[in-house]
Amino acid sequence: MNTKKYLEAIARDNALDARSLRFPNCDIEPDKIKIVMISEVPPQNPVDDFYSKSKAPDYLRSTLGLFGKAGIGVQSMRDILNLGIYITTAVKSPKTEYTVSTEMIRAHLPLLQAEIELFPKLKGIMLMGDVAKKAVNMIAKSKQKKNVIPSGSTYKIRNDEFYWGAVRVFPSYIITGGNILIEKSKCEMIADDLRKMTALIG
């Protein structure tokens, strides 16, 4: 199935203008996806997206670099998908301000929830940054009346184990941006999270 077409239909069902949104555009078999990685927002320039067909998309460049630091040999987004890992964003439109508003996150929750529920064999979710953490907590709280991830700095809680039902949830850091690969301590923590996450795939 094609994720973009699927999410366009979800957007229409929730009175969202699909033409103004950016969706992961890939063909997948939902029952083969075991991990969902949730970033913050799409890039300003569509050519830099994880799923862009351009030669060196910025989001994918940093992602592949971090997978490499974790010892996970991937060369493309298709390689990542073939491992059983799907990458998306919590919000489906680029930032217009420095921060992403709670209202914007809430408006896009039906899309993220539909993505998560698409995968019947899901084992883990990696939350890349505070926007992703907030979005998943909002979905979880609507269902089970409590957050999945507690408040607190990521570096203080990232070694604890959190579960949403049978799915393990990893609080981590944003893996995109021009400087991420030179931030040594953060790269090491993300690489460690990626190793723990992929260990769930089996």
Q: Predicted confidence band at 183 (pLDDT cuts at 50, 70, 90)?
A: confident
Judge whether residue 149 has pLDDT over 70.
Answer: yes
Q: Are strands 124-128 and 162-164 parallel, antiparallel or unpaired?
A: unpaired
**Backbone torsions φ then ψ of 41, nearest 5 degrees:** -140, 160
| Structural domains in the chain, sorted by start | 3-199 (3.40.470.10)
CA-based torsion, 25, 28, 31, 36: positive or negative: negative
Average the pLDDT over 130-158 and give the result: 93
Q: What is the pLDDT of residues 86-129, one digit of tens each?
A: 999 999 999 988 899 999 999 999 999 999 999 999 999 999 99
Q: Is the pLDDT of residue 180 over 90?
A: no
pLDDT at residue 133, as a whole number:
97
Residue type for position 56: A
Q: What is the mean pLDDT of residues 19-35?
A: 97
Query: Among residues of the chain, what percentage have pLDDT more than 90?
Result: 88
Q: What is the pLDDT of residues 37-82, one digit of tens each?
A: 999 999 999 999 999 999 889 999 999 999 999 999 999 999 999 9
What spatial distance separates the first Cα and last Cα of the chain, rounded to whole Å? 24
Residue type (1 letter), 40: E
